[in-house]
Amino acid sequence: MTNRDGARLLALPPSAVLGRPTETLADVGATLEPDAVWLLGPEREAQAFARTRRAFDAPAFHPPLETSGEPVSRQPIETGLEIAVVRSLRALRASPADVSSALSDPCSRSTPIAVVCDDVTTTTRPMALETGLEGAAELAAALPPGRVTTVLTGGVPAGYDELWHLAAETGAVRAVEHEPAFACEPAGDDCVSVRVRGVGPVEGYGGAASLAVLELDETGVAAVDTHERSEFGLEAVSGVGPKTAERLADAEVTTRAELLETPVDELTNYPGVGRDGAHRMHRHATVLETGEPRRLTDESLPAESGRPPLCLDIETDGLSPTILWQIGVYDPVDDSYRAFIERDDPDDPAPVLEALCDWLFASHPDRALLTWNGWRFDYRHLGAFVARHVPYYVDEWESVPKFDLYDWAVREGHALLPGRTNKLEDVAGALGYESAETGLDGAQTAAAYQRFLRTREELDWARHEAYCEDDCRALWHVYERLRDAPRATDSSDTSPAEAEGATSTGTMGGEQTGLGDF
């Protein structure tokens, strides 16, 4: 998290700030290290803004409270990197010229890389089978035609990235392109092209409670990552939900260190906290603070006794896959890696599966497979695809012993993990794994292959192969660290150690919600 180019902008929904202790916000700051903090509009939240400014060292801004008197102001993020902040659509409507000039001010040191406007949002009218862009007319009037301007908004969830071409005259939607990450060209001089990127909270199982981190460089927004609010502060501790965290905060217990200083007997006084739960909180807080995993039971690791399992990971073309186009297998016995990839005929999912099965059943008939969250993803899709495309291998495939390390540790509760989330990369990172830094995630690699499917434009195979291999090796790293981890003790006498960046969450939604999650 430390060595990086560019700058980092934290987009905070007011709900993530209000009613949470300053210490939790400080934990957010310490973990994510933003260069600037954007408290999302469009609602004016003066109290939340005051708290934000107090809790973060980095400069903070809140578009509805921009006081420059201008409808648009410039917000420096880092030397040479600026964004333009529009107070509201109404301000934009009143004086569109101000924005055009702010965006192309010749006296200014640089051109803003993006425009912030939280009023910009999409509106879906299912009855008409139409989605419109709120603010299209204002944007068309204010933004320069003939080029692409990035508009960042808390009005749509993080991950949203669509290129809207608007008629410069009226703001009428000419077309919308769905893969600006691959191709982001303007549509002509009579067109205002707006690349709308969402930074708002993403709806998950627990409602919409995430915050977003934008990686910015001089070319624009390089990435938007999301973090659950439960990754920070006390809620990062397994068993501490928002309610308990609030009650603890009332008793001035606001950090994990303070939690560890609170005796188990006292914790059991809180509603819904039993003795086991209190011990578990202590143990997990310790793991988070020390960065050392702990096993909770005497249960052996999956396949611990026999030959080490083969570490497997698959890449698909989406969450409802039509092809499993890359299957990577890492063999810890001889430190070898093997990838099965469909590079030629993406319309036929069978060859990759057949190659995997041929190799697996011929060369490693007795080996078990290991995955991270495979029961919900890898095995689930492999099972369905084998049954459908190489049915003659169904019985053998079903008889292969399959293990899921995530399932064993988290769902079955045999171990406590450090790491900000239970995503493999976070857990492996917290356990000292040095990633290959391919800059990819599951969603990106899926999108890249989907593009290949459609255009047959070759992708950077080596990079995508490295990404898959990295996950397989990271999995083995976690396995080894868990194998060597001691059992947690029942006392809370571990003194909290300095453990930079070692925050985590013990809770996970029941299911993979995006390819980026694992």
- The two tokens of residue 490 are 């029942």
* Residue of 19, 188, 306, 509 interacting with other proteins (CB under 8 A): 509
Locus of tokens 């059992």 = 487
371 has which bridge partners? 404
Task: Tell me whether residue 276 or residue 511 sits nearer to other proteins (CB atom).
Answer: 511
As a whole number of angstroms, the distance between CA 290 and CA 264 comes to 19
- Type of residue at 445: T
128 binds other proteins (CB under 8 A): yes
As a whole number of angstroms, the distance between CA 465 and CA 463 comes to 5
241 binds other proteins (CB under 8 A): no
String marking each residue 431-460 x if it binds other proteins according to CB under 8 A: ----------------x--x--xx------
122 binds other proteins (CB under 8 A): yes
Nearest in space to 475 (alpha carbons), one of 404, 389, 376: 404
String marking each residue 351-390 x if it binds other proteins according to CB under 8 A: -----------------------------xx-xx--xx--
Smallest separation, CB 164 to other proteins (Å): 8
Smallest separation, CB 125 to other proteins (Å): 8
Q: Which DSSP category does 201 fall into?
A: P
Non-local (6+) Cβ contacts of 149 within 8 A are 103, 114, 115, 143, 192, 193, 194, 195
46 binds other proteins (CB under 8 A): no
* Residue of 47, 205, 252, 399 interacting with other proteins (CB under 8 A): 205
Smallest separation, CB 102 to other proteins (Å): 28
Element (H or E) spanning 476, and its range?
helix 461-484
User: How many CB atoms within 10 Å of residue 256?
Assistant: 27
Task: Tell me whether residue 33 or residue 179 sits nearer to other proteins (CB atom).
Answer: 179
Task: Tell me whether residue 29 or residue 171 sits nearer to other proteins (CB atom).
Answer: 171
Non-local (6+) Cβ contacts of 454 within 8 A are none
* Residue of 69, 106, 126, 271 interacting with other proteins (CB under 8 A): 126
String marking each residue 392-431 x if it binds other proteins according to CB under 8 A: ----------------------------------------
198 binds other proteins (CB under 8 A): yes
Region for residue 212 given its phi and psi (left: phi exceeds 0; alpha: psi -120 to 50; beta: otherwise) = beta
* Helix and strand numbers, DSSP H then E, in the chain: 16, 23
41 binds other proteins (CB under 8 A): no
Footprint on residues 282-321 left by other proteins (CB under 8 A):
317-321
Contact predicate 132/164, CB 8 Å:
no
Footprint on residues 138-167 left by other proteins (CB under 8 A):
156-157, 159-160, 162
Locus of tokens 């292959």 = 449
As a whole number of angstroms, the distance between CA 406 and CA 12 comes to 29
207 binds other proteins (CB under 8 A): yes
243 binds other proteins (CB under 8 A): no
* Phi, psi angles (nearest 5°) of residue 359: -65, -45
C-alpha distances (whole Å) from 123 to each of 133, 152, 155, 467 are: 6, 16, 10, 36
Smallest separation, CB 496 to other proteins (Å): 34
As a whole number of angstroms, the distance between CA 372 and CA 340 comes to 18
Question: Given the rule CB under 8 A, which of 201-209, 288-296, 416-424, 488-496 is the region that contacts other proteins?
Answer: 201-209
117 binds other proteins (CB under 8 A): no
Contact predicate 113/82, CB 8 Å:
yes
* Residue of 190, 203, 252, 345 interacting with other proteins (CB under 8 A): 203
Smallest separation, CB 286 to other proteins (Å): 31
Size of the site for other proteins (CB under 8 A): 45
* Residue of 261, 276, 434, 511 interacting with other proteins (CB under 8 A): 511
Q: Residues 381, 385, 391, 394: what is their CA dihedral angle, to the nearest 10 degrees?
A: -20
* Residue of 107, 127, 362, 462 interacting with other proteins (CB under 8 A): 127
- The two tokens of residue 55 are 């809790």
Smallest separation, CB 191 to other proteins (Å): 17
456 has which bridge partners? none
* Residue of 95, 100, 322, 435 interacting with other proteins (CB under 8 A): 322
Contact predicate 465/433, CB 8 Å:
no
Contact predicate 370/330, CB 8 Å:
no
* Residue of 170, 300, 363, 489 interacting with other proteins (CB under 8 A): 170
Footprint on residues 246-265 left by other proteins (CB under 8 A):
none
* Residue of 57, 130, 345, 358 interacting with other proteins (CB under 8 A): 130
DSSP 241-310: -HHHHHHHHHTT--SHHHHHHS-HHHHTTSTT--HHHHHHHHHHHHHHHH---EE-SSPPPTT-SSSPPE
Which residues in this chain contact other proteins in the complex, by CB under 8 A? 122, 124, 126-131, 133, 156-157, 159-160, 162, 170, 172, 176, 178, 198, 202-205, 207, 317-322, 346, 380-381, 383-384, 387-388, 447, 450, 453-454, 509, 511, 513-514
